[in-house]
Structure formats: structure tokens, C-alpha cells
Amino acid sequence: MSSAARFVDKVAIVTGAATGIGRATLARLASEGATLLAVDVNVDALAESADQARSAAGQAGRVETVVASITDEAAIKSAFAGFAERQGKLDVLINVAGVLRAVHSVEETLEDFVRILQINLVGTFLCCREALPYLLESKGNIVNTASTSAYFGHPYMAAYAASKGGVAALTHTLGWEYIKRGVRVNAVAPGGIATPMTDAMGAGGFPEGADMSLFAHLSRPDGIYGSPENIASIIAMIASEDDAYMNAEVVRVDGGYHG
Ligand SMILES: NC(=O)c1ccc[n+]([C@@H]2O[C@H](COP(=O)([O-])OP(=O)(O)OC[C@H]3O[C@@H](n4cnc5c(N)ncnc54)[C@H](O)[C@@H]3O)[C@@H](O)[C@H]2O)c1
């Protein structure tokens, strides 16, 4: 864990904080002094994440949780407003929540395609929209989570890849739209990171008959995955004043396999 303290007196929201990259990001910001709201749909894992973040910070009471879907407009509106008003401000929004499902595109249902876009893209936009009024006051910033899937063919994951391409475009657009009003908007685009999402793919998540040779360009030749902490440290750097000149950027972190 870092000895940096870049988020002392900073107030931040992390979505998708129950597991994986979101959990590691929550702990990282807590360890650097942030006051946090952790958002997720996974009740038990979210409580565990909050406990871990409090231990990482060595302080109790600086991590609030809310169990809500990022697609629930009323719940997100009230959770973000309530938190920002209790804390007197909001400095940072980190959008990590997301879902992945693999299917032969010829068999994909429109219902499932839309569900994935609704969570990964529309939910990310909703959180940005609800945080922006507070970020405009604090001259704060947003870090979204895209994916290398936005840039390189990701077979059997058309909805996921399209949603992450949308997150990248949303990031460029919001970063530019608010550039003169002091709010930065960036994203991280991870490659293969060892989390429950990738574990689920390894445990039978690919559709029957999937041609795994199509994945040769999507993994490192040594088979090494990144860790959630690797991504959390990049997110923390982007969200901190260390990177105050970075804006409207999507930062690829994939261990070099697309180098
Ligand atoms: N693991 C990877 O290799 C990888 C690569 C590129 C991008 N990503 C992205 O990183 C982000 C985090 O994924 P992860 O790998 O840590 O997986 P993960 O499954 O561990 O984490 C995703 C989190 O999002 C939460 N979530 C899902 N739907 C939600 C909703 N509607 N509202 C609120 N929370 C919701 C889940 O409960 C979970 O806690 C995702 O956006 C994912 O697409 C992951």
C-alpha cells in the first residue's frame, strides 16, 4: 500500500466497489486519506470492502456505503446528493461498476445487449451527470473505466466492447465539454486483470464452441494478468493533483500486450 496522502480532505465516490478493481480503488483512496461513498449491488461484498478500506485507512467512519444499481436514477440521484451535502462537497467520482457476458453474437438477445449497455454505458453516464454539479463547484474530476475491448476485437463480447467504446467516447466528450469550467474527465482502459469478472470467464464463461485462437491478441504471451491494485494505483494517480494536466484521456493499462 502507498505511503502517499493525496486524498486528505478529499471526498470521493467509487462505484462497483464491492469486488475487484473497485474494491482495490476504494482501499487505495482510503489509505491516502479520502472520505468515501462506496456504491454497489452486492450487499455482503460491499460491506467487506468498506471494512477493508477502513483498515487500510486506519480510521473508522470515513467510508459510507450505499447498495444501489448505477442504473437506478432515483437511487443514484439521492445517494450522490445526500453524500455530497453531508460532506459539504464532492471532489472525485470513480466509475468502476460494470458487467461482462460472453455469447455468440448471432445468438445474442436484444434484451441482454441492452442490459449490458444500460449498466456499463448508461449507468456510467448517469453517475457522471449526478456528480457533475458538485464537481463543477469543487473543480473536481471523474475517472471512468473503459477497457481494451473498446479498441481491439473482443470476440463473443459485442455488447461489452460497444459499451466500453461508448465509455471512451463519453470520456473524451465530457472532458472537452467541461474543460473551461475546471472539471477533468479521464478513463482507464485495463487489459486482463485478475478479478471475479475474469475468474468467471475462466470458469466456463465462454460460450460453447468458442474459438479460443481468436483471443491470441488479447493476452500476454506469458499469461500474466494484472492485479486490481495495479489499476487502482493508476486510477488514484489520474484522480489526484499529480495528474492535474491530464484531461479527456483514456489510459491503456494492459501489461503491454497491445504494444
Ligand atoms: N478484469 C478485467 O480484466 C477488466 C478489464 C477491462 C475492464 N474491466 C472493467 O473494470 C470494471 C471492474 O471490473 P472487475 O474486473 O473488477 O470485475 P468485478 O466483477 O469484480 O467488479 C464489478 C463490480 O461492479 C458491480 N456492479 C455490477 N453491476 C452493477 C450495477 N448495476 N450497479 C452497481 N454495481 C454494479 C459488481 O457487483 C462488482 O462489484 C468493470 O467496469 C469492467 O468492465 C475489467
Give the Cβ contact number of residue 225 at 10 Å: 16
Give the domains, in start order, of the chain with CATH numbers.
11-251 (3.40.50.720)
d(CA 12, CA 30): 10
Residue 49 CB–ligand 1 contact under 6 Å: no
Determine which one of 134, 156, 160, 178 is catalytic: 160
Residue carrying C-alpha cell 499529480:
242
Point out the ligand 1 atom lying closest to the alpha carbon of residue 45. Answer: 39
Residue 26 CB–ligand 1 contact under 6 Å: no
Q: Please state the pTM of the whole predicted model.
A: 0.98
How many angstroms does the Cα of residue 216 sit away from the middle of ligand 1? Answer: 23
How many angstroms does the Cα of residue 180 sit away from the middle of ligand 1? Answer: 31
Of all helices (H) and strands (E), which one includes residue 76?
helix 73-87
Question: Residue-wise pLDDT tens for the chain (259 aa)?
Answer: 566 899 999 999 999 999 999 999 999 999 999 999 999 999 999 999 999 999 999 876 699 999 999 999 999 999 999 999 999 999 999 999 999 999 999 999 999 999 999 999 999 999 999 999 999 999 999 999 999 999 999 999 999 999 999 999 999 999 999 999 999 999 999 999 999 999 999 899 999 999 999 988 887 888 899 999 999 999 999 999 998 999 999 999 999 987 6
